[in-house]
Every structure is written in structure tokens, then in C-alpha cells.
Amino acid sequence: MKKKLIIIISMVVVLAVFLFFTLKQDNKKAVGVQMEKVRLHTIESKVYAAGYVQPVVKVNISANVSGEIISLHVEEGQKVKKGEILAQLDKVIYEAEVDQAQSYYRSRLSAKYVAEKEYKRAEELYKENNYSESQYDQTKSQYEQAVAALEQAVARSKQAEDNLRKTTLVAPIDGTVIGLRKEQGEIAMGSTFQADIVMTVANLSGMEVEVDVNENDIVRVTYGDSVDIEIDALAEQVFPGIITEISQLATTTGAGTQNAVTNFKVLVKMLNIPDEIRSGMNATVEILTDRKENVIAVPIRAVTVRPEDKVRKIDPDTKEKPELLEVVFVVAEDTVRAIPLELGINSEDYFEVLNGLDTGNVIVIGNHQALTFDLQTGTGVKDINDIKKKRNKK
């Protein structure tokens, strides 16, 4: 009896030791993670871009004829009215060209009068058979040449007068002179094909921000999207805006290299314009591309990827490489299970979940090491927040 009791006690001790080490080993296998219940959130999807402030209406004033700037009638920052004289080029040469053109016109007009009179006389004689056909044709040709020469004289006169007018630079719009490129005494190199800008006039009552939006984001941007604008020089102020123009032509830097970047120009009209704003100021924008209220959402840091064959059963005979699925790990008792998700829009912190989760599910939200490498379906987990609470109680 005593021997039997000793055997029973020995068995109990062995079992206790086995359970102790087994539990200790299991405890070691449990991965410490952060957990959170799935809740409803409001998601705002935004696109971020940088650029600069500029007037909506801005006109570069160039000289279309060459000449010395003999007078400037405005200063930078001065307000001007449409039609107001801004600058005067030397017009002596162009006045002389007008005089020559008018003199040439008068001579061609006289020649045309003589040729027309002779042509009418020849026409009468030809009808009465007192003029040969060749004489008539010659007189008619001389008249037609005189008419053509007069037309050329008219065109020459108009061009000369137009060039003379162009020596006076006038404001094309009501606005403010925001830049002077030339000084009095300098030469304006007038050209129809290449602008030699003398000054810039802009209407500062309407301002916009021109930004570069990356090709990956531009597909989410549409006309009329609401925008929050921050001006670097006006810290801690946010100004409302709206998308008014989206370029259809891309601009690419570093083309043909690994660092190639493709952007699209987007114009954002400012709805409130502060008095302190200046053309050319640097700005950043937040474009609100979508907003959804009270939707199931999970923190972005909770979403990771796993091969499809590690998440669900797939045909073992398939020869295709398992695709990567976006998953979260749902906690069930002391283990986790990888759940594939169908995701919608995202904000800076959250993904909208279209399918895969319900509110109340407990998911793993950290840490990065555990989510990226350690966790698989069936992995044991422990809440590190509970561990911290127990330590604090001690």
C-alpha cells in the first residue's frame, strides 16, 4: 500500500513538472501584440501636392517692335487701368515709315487714277473698232497693275501705322504691375516669334495655386474637388480652394532613368485671398478626393500581406504562384487567424473595409515585427497591454 502511494505521488509530481514546462513553453510561443476592436470611422481620402501661388489672370507685356524705352510710366506694385499707357518706345523711325507709306499711297492712288482713265478711253475706242485688241489688252493690264500697286500701298500704310501704335505699350487689363523686366534707356527687342517681356500686369483679385500631382494620384483628382491650402509664408493658416483645371499633358523629370518622376499640373483657385499674399509664394495643398462617414475601418498599420496558400485553401495542382493577399489578424481566444480584406478608400491612418470584417472583431494592430513576420493563422498571442497592467498592479 505504501509502495503504491509512493508511485501515485511520483506520477503526480511528474505530471505537474510536465504541465509546468509545457505551459512555460506555450507561454514562450505566444507573441506579444497590441489589439483593438474594429469600429466605425469617417474616412477622408486626400492627395497632397506642392506648388506656388500665382494670379489667375496674368499678362506679360512685350514689345512687338524694337526700340529704345524712352519712358516708363509705371512702377512695380502700381495699379493700372485697361488702356493706360505703361511705356513709350522711341518712335522716330516708325513715324518716318508712316510718312513714307502715306507718300507712296498718294503716288499709287494718282497712278491708279491715270491708269483707270486711260483704260476707260481705250475701252470706248475698242468698242468703236478704233483700237486694236492688243492695245486694249495692254491698257487693261496697266490699269490692273495700278490697282494692285494701290492695294499694296494701302497694306504698307496700315502696317506702318500699326508699328507706330506698337511703340506705345498700354495695359490690356485692369490690374497691378507685378514685375518690371526693363529699365528706361534699355532696348526692347521686339519680335513676333520671341517675346522680350518688358513688364507683367496681373489681376490680384483672383489668385490660384499651381501644383504638381504625381501620376499615381492624378487619377483620383477631379474638377471641383475641395482643397485646403497652406502658404509657407503665412504659417498656421489654412485657406479653402477648389480644383479648376487639370492638365492632360504630363511633365516628366529624369526620363529614362530609375528616378523618373511623372507629374500633372493642377490649378487650385483660392476662395479666400489674404492681403499679405504675393505671387510666387510657396504653397502646399490637401485635395479631398473622397469622404465616407460611419464605415468599417482598420488602422493602416494593422494591414499586412500573406501568400494566398497561407490564408485559405487553394487547388494543390495549380502551377501559378500564390498571389499576395492583404490581410488583418483577427484574435479568437488566444490565437489569431489571417482574414483577407477587400479595401476601399484610405485616409492617412485608416483603410475602409468593404468586406471581411464586422464591428466588434478584435484585430492585431501592432507591432510591426509581429505583423510582418511572426504571425500566421493559429499563432498564439498575448495582449501586451494586459501584461503592462498586471506589472503596474504589482
Smallest CA-to-CA distance from 190 within 74, 76, 93, 75 is with: 93
* 366 neighbors 299 (Cβ within 8 angstroms): no
CATH of the domain at 356: 2.40.420.20
391 pLDDT tier (thresholds 50, 70, 90): low
Average pLDDT over residues 63-87: 94
Average pLDDT value for the chain: 88
513714307: which residue's cell? Answer: 100
CATH of the domain at 112: 1.10.287
Three-class DSSP category at 352: strand
Structural domain tally of the chain?
3
Strands 85-89 and 324-332: unpaired
pLDDT digits (tens, 9 = 90+) for 195-234: 789 999 999 999 999 999 999 999 999 999 999 999 999 9
Examine the pLDDT at 22 and tell me if it is beyond 60: no
Statement to judge: residues 116 and 153 lie in one domain: yes
Q: Return the pLDDT at 80.
A: 96
pTM above 0.75, yes or no: no
Q: Return the pLDDT at 336.
A: 96
* 303 neighbors 351 (Cβ within 8 angstroms): yes
Examine the pLDDT at 16 and tell me if it is beyond 70: no
> What is the residue range of 120's domain?
91-166
Q: DSSP string spanning 182-246?
A: --TTPEE---SSS--EEEEEEEEEEEEEEEEEEHHHHTT--TT-EEEEEETTSTT--EEEEEEEE
Statement to judge: residues 284 and 311 lie in one domain: no
Query: From CA 264, how far away is CA 326, in angstroms rounded?
Result: 30
Statement to judge: residues 364 and 287 lie in one domain: no
85 pLDDT tier (thresholds 50, 70, 90): very high
Q: Which range, of 212-216, 318-322, 364-368, averages the lowest pLDDT?
A: 318-322
